[in-house]
Amino acid sequence: MLATLRIRRLAVLDEATIEFGPGLNVISGETGAGKTLVMNALALITGARASAEMVRPDSHEAVVEALFDLEGVRLAPELAQSLELEDTRELLIRRVIAEGGRSRATVNGALATMQTLARLGANLIQIFGQHEQHELLRSESHLAILDRYAELADELEHYRGLYERALKLKAQLEKIRQAAQERSKRLELLRFQLSELSAANLTPDEDQEIAQKREFLANATRLNAAASDVEHLLYSGESAVVDALGRAQARLKEVAALDPALREPLALLESAEASVSEAARWLRTYAERAEADPAQLEMLETRLEQLNRIKRKYGGSIESALETLAQVEREIAELDDSEHMEASLASEYEAVLAKTAQAAKELSQRRQAAATDLKAKVESELKTLGIRNPVFVPRLSRLPAHATSLSCDGLGLGPEGSDDVEFNIAFNLGQPPMPLAKVASGGELSRVMLAIKCLEARRRSVATLIFDEVDAGIGGAVAEVVGLKLKSLARFHQILCVTHLAQIAAFADKHFVVEKRERRGTTISTVSELKGAERVEELARMIGGRQRSERIVRAAQELLERARA
């Protein structure tokens, strides 16, 4: 339970130490006195966001400390282990808010994150704020209430995991299918390009080689004539060069014996004759090869035209066309893979969707059973809260398939399953149950909320329950009944209750008052515990406001006496 709450320099709360006890602890005070600051302090202890406005203007920091007695408190095992609290009997949470809103927290002296405070808070206290009643007016909140009562946290987490996976697969599948027509057109183009480029049977530099062959064949006649003419001049014609060289050699040989110096030019003439003969043989062979071949020339022209067309279409060169061919083959393979991926993805989606639908059906079964139990218990609680013949009906209906992101065999699947829940209620005998938001007055709504929260509290092991002005719209005998209900609940839990009603405050085991005062030109709020006559005075103020009379004081005394009876 919460043993001590110490607050320093939190807005107008200068300094306060509140020693709570077991049972029912009531906090009262005039509107604007600072009761909300006590609730803010408790929220900070459980990891709520801090802001710069929380620090008193004349201070550098605000501090909130909460000391918990862990006797009988069951912390989540993994949480207790991570914080080394298995054998600890006391727990001190400290939160410091500095100027600018920055804050730090410690747990038993060790630094802690806000997430750690939130997890600890969920194990230690449960706060029911004023907004809870407004939430009851929204049918969207009824499903969450039923799920908490049914203790479906693990099942919901499992379902949500499947639901998110199914949504993701569906989005991927739709994206692939939307691109299917475009993919088909792209494949058609790519396969045409593949066929065209493959049929061309391209090789690097082929165009240059063909151009050279084409040039040769186009000028074959001229080349043949030139080679033949020169061959005649050199060897086979009249007055051929080789004959002249032969004669020249013969003449020099006649006189070379007379002068050895002539041997050198003779050797040169012999070499020249051999070169001329070799050149003539080469030209003779070339002339034989350089013959016009119109059929081959036409074939080369056709091939060159084909290559030029390919080059114009695919980047301007044989190399770029070959690169395009490789790219086309890769892209076709990828698009073919995407077709296989679509089939695989569709199969996976159907499997996950079926599991999601099955999980939703299991949630529905658990909810149906919990709704029957909740109906009986809420009606029982409402009777103890002064409603004689309540009829409470948690109405479950199926989500229509057309209204949800997912559906399976006509079953609509939403983020929380396939169910919609709305609380219907009748407060008077013979009245048909109608939606809660349409028929509940403020007081009736407060009692429905209190009944539901009492049931939730019994199902959880949280030691401390905090009710922040849950008495809106009630008064008189009904307020006394609510006070009696809180007192009854305080036998099993420590209760902290912020209230404006004397009929509730009279049942307190401990009563604290928040007061606002002006001191030395500034406004401060204080929190003090009331004893004896002080309690009577505060109850009288709660009954009559600023008017004080003997009759009001007697009424306050009577409230206390009835509460103690």
Q: Does residue 481 surpass a pLDDT of 70?
A: yes
Q: Percentage of the chain surpassing pLDDT 90?
A: 35
CA-to-CA dists, residue 284 to 227, 233, 242, 459, angstroms: 7, 12, 15, 114
> What is the C-alpha separation between 444 and 456, in angstroms, rounded?
18
Phi-psi region of 290 (alpha: psi -120 to 50; beta: other; left: phi over 0): beta
Nearest to 231 by CA among 290, 289, 167, 285: 285
Residue 233 has φ and ψ, to the nearest 5°, of -65, -35
Q: Which residues contact 221 (CB under 8 A, 6 or more apart)?
A: 292
**The predicted structure's pLDDT at residue 461:** 67
Domain ranges across the chain: 1-136+461-531, 184-332
Rounded average pLDDT over 320-348: 81
Question: Considering only CA atoms, which of 450, 548, 545, 543 is closest in space to residue 560?
Answer: 543
φ, ψ dihedrals at 109, nearest 5°: 90, -10
Given a cut of 70, whether residue 179 has pLDDT beyond it is no
* Per-residue tokens: 376: 């009986």
pLDDT in tens, 110-128: 899 999 999 888 888 888 8
Q: Say how far apart CA 189 and CA 444 lie, in whole Å.
A: 72
Tokens encoding 270? 């012999």
Please, what sign has the CA dihedral across residues 40, 44, 47, 49?
A: positive
Residue 564 has pLDDT above 80, yes or no: yes
Q: For the chain, what is the mean pLDDT?
A: 86
What would the mean pLDDT of 518-533 be, rounded to a whole number?
87
Determine the pLDDT at residue 181: 66
Q: Determine the pLDDT at residue 514.
A: 93
The superfamily (CATH) of domain 1-136+461-531 is P-loop containing nucleotide triphosphate hydrolases (3.40.50.300)
* pLDDT exceeds cutoff 80 at 286: no
| 212 has pLDDT over 80 | no
Given a contact cutoff of 8 angstroms between Cβ atoms, the answer to whether 38 and 514 are in contact is yes
Q: Are 392 and 382 in contact (CB under 8 A)?
A: yes
Q: Which of 287-296, 354-363, 427-436 has the highest mean pLDDT?
A: 354-363
**Across 236-245, 281-290, 295-304, which has the greatest mean pLDDT?**
236-245
Give SS3 for 435.
Answer: strand
Worst-scoring range by mean pLDDT, 199-208, 315-324, 470-479?
Answer: 470-479
Model confidence at 279: pLDDT above 90? no
Give the integer Cα–Cα distance in Å for 213 and 196: 24
Res. 299 pLDDT band, cuts 50 70 90? confident
